[in-house]
Amino acid sequence: MQPPIKLFDWPASPFSLKVRAILEYKRLDYARVPILAPANFREIRRRGKIGKAPALEIDGRLFVDSTDIAYELESRFPDPAIIPSSPRERGVCHAIEEWSDESLYFVNLYYQWSDPEGRRMVPKVFGSGLFGYAAYRFYLRRVLNQTRGQGTARKPPAHVLSDLQRHLAAIEALIEPGPFLLGDRPFLCDFALIGQLVYLRRTPLGARQLEEHSAIKAFVGA
């Protein structure tokens, strides 16, 4: 019998999307718990120490990083597998996942939180209440500090756009012939990349750039 799974979720997060997609691919039942509800937000900050989504509770244990969550799910529910069996493919999968989560992610953050078109959309996600406004201001400071410290937000807009276009050209090359990055079935790298691409597609500039890449649009819909 499957143990109860509780996902502390922020629907807009590319990492939450990544974990939800893995749970659904593995056909696991789970309950979604909104992290922006005040009590849930406090619980995740208290138990997870880093106060971010997604967080997944299973058998009373809490896992707070999307990659750690993915490996925990793989160890408990190995079929269908999301980690390749071949050592070389495992290495490629790891490299693409890390690139998606730690490099492409910051360009996406820039277009959602720093770019004026994208930033106008963000407060709506947090709602109109006092807690939602406070959470928005908290995350705005955190994200702007992160993107500046990492370096993306210190670049002029034309430089960030050039970075994004190189990323998209690389993605288009990686996904051909498809349908997935390593062949005919998805692995962890696919879930990580799709989460970032869906997040990018929600931003005005990101959506316009993706219109120029038919293979990426097919991959996201695969």
Please check whether residue 211 lies inside any domain of the structure: yes
pTM above 0.75, yes or no: yes
13 vs 131: CA distance, rounded Å:
18
Residues in the chain: 222
Share above pLDDT 70 across residues of the chain, in percent, rounded to a whole number: 94
Question: Are 129 and 176 in the same domain?
Answer: yes
Please check whether residue 191 lies inside any domain of the structure: yes
Please check whether residue 159 lies inside any domain of the structure: yes
Domain that holds residue 107: 87-220
Q: Write down the residue that tokens 């799974």 correspond to.
A: 5
Please check whether residue 81 lies inside any domain of the structure: no
Q: Does position 53 have pLDDT exceeding 90, yes or no?
A: no
Beta-carbon contacts of 152 under 8 Å, excluding residues fewer than 6 positions away, are 106, 107, 109, 110, 160, 163
Please check whether residue 82 lies inside any domain of the structure: no
CB 21 within 8 A of CB 14: no
Q: Does position 45 have pLDDT exceeding 70, yes or no?
A: no
Number of structural domains the chain divides into: 2
Question: Are 101 and 20 in the same domain?
Answer: no
Please check whether residue 185 lies inside any domain of the structure: yes
Q: How many Å separate Cα 63 from the centre of its chain?
A: 16
CB 71 within 8 A of CB 83: yes
Q: Provide the 10 A C-beta neighbour count for residue 176.
A: 10
CB 20 within 8 A of CB 8: no
Pairing of strands 31-34, 5-9: parallel
pLDDT in tens, 134-149: 888 988 999 999 999 9
66 vs 89: CA distance, rounded Å:
20
Q: What is the pLDDT of residue 40?
A: 66
Residue 54, φ and ψ in degrees, nearest 5: -85, 160
Please check whether residue 24 lies inside any domain of the structure: yes
Q: What is the pLDDT of residue 119?
A: 95
57 vs 212: CA distance, rounded Å:
40
Question: Are 69 and 98 in the same domain?
Answer: no
Kindly list the distances between the CA atom of residue 154 and the CA atoms of 72, 139, 150, 158, 206, in Å, as whole numbers in the listed order.
36, 19, 9, 12, 19
Mean pLDDT, residues 90-96:
98
CATH number, domain with residue 181: 1.20.1050.10
Question: Are 103 and 14 in the same domain?
Answer: no
